[in-house]
Amino acid sequence: MGSVTLVNSMVSLQYVFVLILVAIAAKKHPKVFEEKLLFWDWAQKVAAILIIAIGMFLISK
């Protein structure tokens, strides 16, 4: 089995998949997903995902 800390950090990856699935769904069904996200909203989401990824990298070392 893996490290408990690493397994817990992998749970955070669900946000990456949710962001990707919502982005795809918003392109296919723009009437359902009417939320307008500005550049800074997307930048904040991507930055948070990068911080999680960096944390996972540091934990796995």
Taking the complete model, does pTM exceed 0.85, yes or no? no
| pLDDT tens digits along 28-55 | 888 887 777 788 988 998 898 888 888 8
- Residue 37 DSSP one-character state: P
CA dihedral of residues 42, 36, 28, 12 (deg, nearest 10): 40
**For residue 2, what pLDDT is reported?**
62
| Length, in residues, of the chain | 61
pLDDT for 44 equals 92
